[in-house]
Structure 1
């Protein structure tokens, strides 16, 4: 069925009931149009791009527009819908569970259900919820439980609470910017130190983090004299994993590899919020990038993901 056996850690699920309810629950203020999607369309795309397994997640704005108990109910419906897809296609799909944030109490309850009953592969968090970023104290109880469980966390950008640019849709520029804000704050505010057992994947190659990492590390003590040394900050940035969704270009991949090393790079498509054609453009650029050994290439395609999702690793773990 495939030769690359890619594991796609950045692939989205679009449950029909969620798509139908979104317009009356705040809509998507980023300007994104909810795409047509079905499980079969996902499988068809995966087959054309040699993707063995797609780890499905609900994209921004997630369930934040629902209120009170309705938010938890919608998160539960999304998680059960996705878990059912995994049950029907256990080798083809995985599940990053949705939590009803910013409601921490119910998020913790849903985390238990998603991991213990539905056996989700991890959770998806947005970079911010109502302008509150993930390194702020309100999220400490959630991080503590994720750390206790050694969970895999996929951080996807959300819409920052800033005025948008005329003619420039938020997903073009503001989304990678918001991932960068969240990642830098997680390091400089000590979250990655306090909860070191959480494995964090940053969407879209970490936004601008690899490219500007040395700037962030050098300037930290200028504004916070108690900040860690530049070398320590850089080392902590490199503890993240980074997916290739919309980020496998000849301009991005060399910088990402130079910063993170090939062992922290995971394949991502961003389907269906980018078309199969756009996803294929970046997949083709990744395949054409020559500065990867055969072992490194298999790592990016699947072997690096096996360390995070051992259920997907074959018992004999072939490289190709």
Structure 2
């Protein structure tokens, strides 16, 4: 294997954006991150793009259930997933797979999308969920069927943060890491890893606060909860910092870390891919472990021979 698989990179499906804009003309003004050109301009995306990297793409934080009822949200998710597939199939020099969207205000249709759209297509590697949906924790009981279904089909959930709308001091530097940490705790305390042994969840941003506070988890929570935290997978999208990545490995284990960059965010024009590769190369780990992070670990948690020839 001579490529690196970036498991957590983002795009903006323009058909989805235009549909939402037709009813909500201020959607871009309210979500200024949508203005980042490289989300949709693939010529910018290709600027200085590493030849040995292939991205798994997922939608940015633009979710149909935040704008439309369950029926329409389900159709938009289906259509946006097809748009993601077209992006992958039309840009195989940089993209290799996609993470699907599901409507969180229509759980039966979300299950249908998993079974009828995600599972049959080998370019889909899992689904993306967020730390909250419709201002409720992702671990709220009404969302539990999604976790059951993903365990059943044996594909990973990619967990991305969102702001808690009830807080007035949200900020991009720290708030999302707190929200990820809280969501992880809520999933653990819901007992999902015990109920669904095949459940696989990839956490953005190297597991957020968990590695640093591993001791507090060990001595303030139960033994079962402590060990369940270790069942999460984490990516490397913390904009560098090899020491922090080593700390994440210390807690989660090297087999639970996958290469992810959050591209095209943070570093103009098309993301922090170079900085994160440098950080992984600067880690005090073996070549075998480094290769596991760059591609092997990810291949082990998706369907065998899913998309790599």
TM surpasses 0.5: yes
Partner of residue 98, structure 1: 101
**Whole-angstrom CA distance in 2 between matches of 1:196 and 1:46:** 41
**Rounded Cα–Cα distance in structure 1 between residues aligned with 2:211 and 2:219:** 14
Are 1:209 and 2:207 an aligned pair? Answer: no
Paired with 2:26 and 2:208, the residues of 1 have a C-alpha distance of 26
CA RMSD of aligned residues (A): 2.6
The residue that corresponds to 1:19 in the other structure is 17
1:248, CA displacement in angstroms? Answer: 3.6
1:304 corresponding residue in structure 2: 297
Shift of the 135–65 alpha-carbon distance from structure 1 to 2, 3 Å rule, reads closer
On the 8 A contact 2:135/2:165 being kept in 1, the answer is yes
Determine if contact 2:181/2:208 at 8 Å carries over to the other structure. yes
Q: Deviations over 1:103-135 (max 9, x none)?
A: 212211222222244442111111111221122
Change (3 A) 1:46 1:242: farther
CA displacement, residues 190-226 of structure 1 (integer Å, 9 cap, x when unaligned): 0111112121100111111121133134223xxxxxx
1:10 match: secondary structure: strand
What pairs up with 1:58-77 in 2 under 5 angstroms? 58-68=59-69, 69-77=71-79
Q: CA deviation at 1:79?
A: 0.3
Matched, 1:286 2:280: yes
CA contact 2:230–2:251 (8 Å) conserved in 1: yes
CA distance in 1: counterparts of 2:56 and 2:10, whole angstroms: 8
Distance 1:65 1:195 in 2: 28
Contact 1:147 1:198 (C-alpha < 8 Å) held by counterparts: yes
Contact 2:239–2:276 (8 Å) recurs in 1: yes
Q: Distance in 2 between matches of 1:141 and 1:81?
A: 25
Quote how far apart the aligned CAs of 1:267 are.
0.5
* Structure 1 range deviating more: 123-132 or 133-142: 133-142
TM-score with structure 1 setting the length: 0.84
Contact 2:139–2:187 (Cα < 8 Å) also in 1: yes
Task: Find the counterpart in structure 1 of residue 143 from structure 2.
Answer: 139
Match of 1:50 among 42, 49, 52: 52
Q: Is this contact kept in 2: 1:49–1:280, CA < 8 A? A: no
5+ residue gaps, structure 2: none
- Whole-angstrom distance in 1 between the partners of 2:240 and 2:51: 14
8 A contact 2:66–2:134 mirrored in 1 = no
Cα contact 2:104–2:143 (8 A) shared by 1: no
Where in structure 2 are the equivalents of 1:113-192 lying within 5 Å?
Answer: 113-119=116-122, 120-165=124-169, 170-192=171-193
CA contact (8 A) 2:9 2:56 kept: yes
1:218-229 paired onto structure 2 within 5 Å: 218-220=219-221, 229=222
Cα deviation digits, residues 12-71 of structure 1 (max 9, x gap): 1211122334551773756534321347347626842731x2111112242232211221
**Out of 110, 115, 125, which is 1:112 matched to?**
115
1:61–1:158 contact (8 Å) kept in structure 2: no
The correspondence for 1:271, drawn from 228, 244, 263, is: 263
Unaligned runs of 5+ in 1: 221-228, 316-320
